[in-house]
Amino acid sequence: MRIAVTGSIATDYLMTFPGRFSEQLVADQLDRVSLSFLVDELEVRRGGVAANICFGLGQLGLEPILVGAVGEDFNSDYRSWLRRHGVDTSGVHVSELKHTARFLCTTDQDQNQMASFYTGAMEEARFIELEPIAERAGQLDLVIVSPNDPEAMLRHTQECRDLGIPFMADPGQQLARMAGDEIRELVADASYLITNDYERALLESKTGWSSGEVLERVGVRITTLGPKGSVLDSADGALVEVPAAPEDRRADPTGVGDAFRAGLIAGLAWQLDLARCAQIGSMVATYVLEHVGTQEYRIGDAEFLRRLADTYGAEAADDVRPHLG
Nearby residues of 11 by Cβ (< 8 Å), 6 or more positions away = 44, 45, 46, 47, 73, 78, 100, 101, 102, 103
Look at residues 324, 247, 325 and name the one whose alpha carbon lies nearest to residue 288: 247
The DSSP secondary structure of 130-153, one letter per residue, reads HHHHHHHHS--SEEEE-S--HHHH
Look at residues 264, 270, 322 and name the one whose alpha carbon lies nearest to residue 56: 264
pLDDT band for position 30 (cuts 50, 70, 90): low
For the beta carbon of residue 29, count every other beta carbon within 10 angstroms: 9
This prediction's pTM: 0.91
Report the pLDDT averaged over residues 259-272.
98
Whole-angstrom CA distances from 101 to 7, 47, 72 are 11, 9, 11
CA distance 191 to 205: 21
Residue 29 has pLDDT above 70, yes or no: no
Give the torsion through C-alpha atoms of 184, 195, 83, 122, to 10 deg: 50
What residues are labeled active site? 258
Cα radius of gyration (the chain): 19
Percent of the chain with pLDDT over 70: 98
| Per-residue model confidence as pLDDT tens digits over 52-67 | 999 999 999 999 999 9
**What confidence score (pLDDT) does residue 163 get?**
96
For the beta carbon of residue 15, count every other beta carbon within 10 angstroms: 18
**What confidence score (pLDDT) does residue 195 get?**
97
**What confidence score (pLDDT) does residue 112 get?**
87
Report the pLDDT averaged over residues 245-264.
93
Report the pLDDT averaged over residues 264-285.
98
The DSSP secondary structure of 37-91, one letter per residue, reads ---SEEEEEEE-HHHHHHHHHHHTT--PEEEEEE-GGGGGTHHHHHHHTT-EEEE
Look at residues 182, 148, 129 and name the one whose alpha carbon lies nearest to residue 50: 148
Residue 198 has pLDDT above 90, yes or no: yes
Query: 3-20+40-323 in CATH: which number?
Result: 3.40.1190.20
Residue 77 has pLDDT above 70, yes or no: yes
**What confidence score (pLDDT) does residue 140 get?**
96
**What confidence score (pLDDT) does residue 114 get?**
87
Report the pLDDT averaged over residues 77-102.
95
For the beta carbon of residue 302, count every other beta carbon within 10 angstroms: 10
pLDDT mean across residues, the chain: 93
Residue 227 per-residue DSSP state: G
pLDDT band for position 254 (cuts 50, 70, 90): confident
Residue 94 has pLDDT above 90, yes or no: yes
CA distance 195 to 146: 10
Residue 27 has pLDDT above 80, yes or no: no
Residue 117: strand, helix, or coil = strand
User: Dihedrals φ, ψ of 309, to 5°?
Assistant: -65, -40
Lowest mean pLDDT among 74-78, 79-83, 148-152: 74-78
CA distance 279 to 96: 41
> Where do the domains of the chain lie?
3-20+40-323
Residue 217 has pLDDT above 80, yes or no: yes
CA distance 125 to 315: 41
**What confidence score (pLDDT) does residue 69 get?**
97
pLDDT band for position 235 (cuts 50, 70, 90): confident
CA distance 232 to 241: 6
